[in-house]
């Protein structure tokens, strides 16, 4: 096949982030051999599991043509709630109670965006602040800790292993497999793609657009509650701002995985790849000796690059024909 400027541009537009990731991986491995150590790789995947679980739910929202910037604050809320209720009513009741409250928040957002047709960016940006305030109110502005950390089975989700594999990795993998099947093989998944691809056409085709959008936010809230459970179980205590800023990382991971901000495209499998790309890049930066706050700059650069490649893939060229 003859290589042309346009064909190279199209390839880079569609697969450029994978090429960049390969370059990063090779560079980090050459800079520090610990980067490719099995224990380091397993540690990166484990530390990425909480972010990954949240990204799975946001993938549904983004493919459906919307955004969810409230997931960071909502994760803080779910973590604080389950830790607080653990000592008051016990973990067996605290877990479903936390899931129920988090799903109520997701349902409220889904109602505003789906049925009232409000802009998802504005709604979830407002809910980011509102839920943060709700979390501070619930906690009284204090951090939360479980009183008897040695006498609870609650730590099983975040600290235990099954067949030698950390539970957070197993939960992330299981949830990714289930949601991947839902997205790829069920009528609901196909309707999410249809609504995100062309909402008006989907409505004319008889697809209940408002209901589909509503349920994508419920899926997102369920995943956030799961992430909050993992976070609380791992540390058995938490700051009330534990999820602050994570919405940016979640969105970066989803976009890196190829989900279009315009809606209608993306897969759960590629979101998992996006989560791992982000995790390994951040880990590599630390191993080569850069300070942790450099990650924020790199995350911003990655988002800009991913959005550029996403738009370029739609028009088939890296550069605008007007430029």
Nearest residue to 207 via CA among 228, 221, 193, 218: 193
Domains of the chain: which residue ranges?
34-310
Look at 54-63, 82-91, 205-214, 310-319 and tell me which has the smallest mean pLDDT.
310-319
Q: How many CB atoms lie within 10 A of CB 132?
A: 20
Look at 1-10, 197-206, 218-227, 299-308 and tell me which has the smallest mean pLDDT.
1-10
More confident residue, 308 or 168: 168
How does residue 4 score in pLDDT terms, banded at 50, 70 and 90?
low
pLDDT at 320: 60
d(CA 297, CA 317): 26
pLDDT at 14: 58
What CATH number should be reported for the domain whose range is 34-310? 1.10.3470
Question: Residue 9: which residues within 8 A CB-CB, separation 6 or more?
Answer: 312, 316, 317, 318, 319
SS3 4: coil
Predicted confidence (pLDDT) per residue in 30-86, tens digit: 888 888 888 888 888 898 999 999 999 999 999 999 999 999 999 999 999 999 999
pLDDT at 121: 94
Predicted confidence (pLDDT) per residue in 87-137, tens digit: 999 999 999 999 999 999 999 999 999 999 999 999 999 999 999 999 999
Is residue 314 predicted with pLDDT exceeding 80?
Answer: no
> What are 263's two structure tokens?
């809606």
- Give CA angle at 47 (46, 52), nearest 5°: 85
Question: Residue 83: which residues within 8 A CB-CB, separation 6 or more?
Answer: 144, 145, 146, 232, 236, 237, 238
Is residue 312 predicted with pLDDT exceeding 70?
Answer: no
Predicted confidence (pLDDT) per residue in 256-279, tens digit: 887 888 888 889 988 998 898 888
d(CA 14, CA 16): 6
pTM for this one?
0.88
d(CA 11, CA 38): 32
Stretch 312-320: mean pLDDT: 61
């Amino acid at each position: 096949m003859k290589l042309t400027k346009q064909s190279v541009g199209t390839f880079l537009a569609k697969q450029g982030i994978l090429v960049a990731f390969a370059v990063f991986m090779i560079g980090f491995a050459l800079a520090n051999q610990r980067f490719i150590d099995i224990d380091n790789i397993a540690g990166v995947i484990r530390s990425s599991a909480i972010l990954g679980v949240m990204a799975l739910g946001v993938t549904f929202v983004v493919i459906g043509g919307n955004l969810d910037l409230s997931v960071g604050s909502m994760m803080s809320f779910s973590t604080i709630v389950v830790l607080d209720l653990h000592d008051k009513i016990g973990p067996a009741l605290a877990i479903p109670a936390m899931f129920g409250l988090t799903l109520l928040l997701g349902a409220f957002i889904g109602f505003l965006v789906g049925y009232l047709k409000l802009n998802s960016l504005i709604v979830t940006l407002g809910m980011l602040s509102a839920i943060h305030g709700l979390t501070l109110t619930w906690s009284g502005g204090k951090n939360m800790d479980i009183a008897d950390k040695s006498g609870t089975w609650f730590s099983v989700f975040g600290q235990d292993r099954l067949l030698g594999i950390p539970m957070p990795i197993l939960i992330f993998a299981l949830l990714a497999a289930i949601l991947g099947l839902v997205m790829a093989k069920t009528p609901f998944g196909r309707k999410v793609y249809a609504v995100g691809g062309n909402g008006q056409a989907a409505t004319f085709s008889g697809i209940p657009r408002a209901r589909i959008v509503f349920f994508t936010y419920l899926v997102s809230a369920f995943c956030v509650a799961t992430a909050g459970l993992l976070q609380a179980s791992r540390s058995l205590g938490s700051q009330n701002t534990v999820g602050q800023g994570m919405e940016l990382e979640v969105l970066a991971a989803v976009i890196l995985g190829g989900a279009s901000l315009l809606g209608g495209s993306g897969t759960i499998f590629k979101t998992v790849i996006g989560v791992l790309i982000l995790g390994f890049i951040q880990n590599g930066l630390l191993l080569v000796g850069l300070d942790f706050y450099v990650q924020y700059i790199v995350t911003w650069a990655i988002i800009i690059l991913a959005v550029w490649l996403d738009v370029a893939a739609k028009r088939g060229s890296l550069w605008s024909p007007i430029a």
